[in-house]
Amino acid sequence: MQKGLIDARLGGGLIKKRVARSGHGKRGGYRVILASNLGDRWVFMFGFAKNERDNVDDDELRLMKRLASAFLEMDDRMLRQALTSGEILEIHHG
């Protein structure tokens, strides 16, 4: 995604990415919504299986945009504090 492999820009710092599920084709995959500055900040907001729902509704999108704005405006100190307090969880891959 850092190289521009994004399926949709939803506005307000939100992006949508299709994620394949092995052996299930495009219809059996997932959709993931992230908040990002497309640089060093990537925040998982929501994920769902495509066969369970088509998309997020307008109210969910508005809420995620507000949350995305807050996450993307946080400085390093604020992020560390939120991590330490358990308000947010950092996910490491690998």
pLDDT of residue 15: 95
pLDDT of residue 1: 73
pLDDT of residue 77: 96
- Tens of each residue's pLDDT in the chain, 94 residues: 767 778 889 999 999 998 888 777 666 789 999 999 888 889 999 999 988 888 899 999 999 999 999 999 999 999 999 999 999 988 877 6
- Is-contact 45 33, C-beta < 8 A? yes
State pTM to two decimals.
0.80
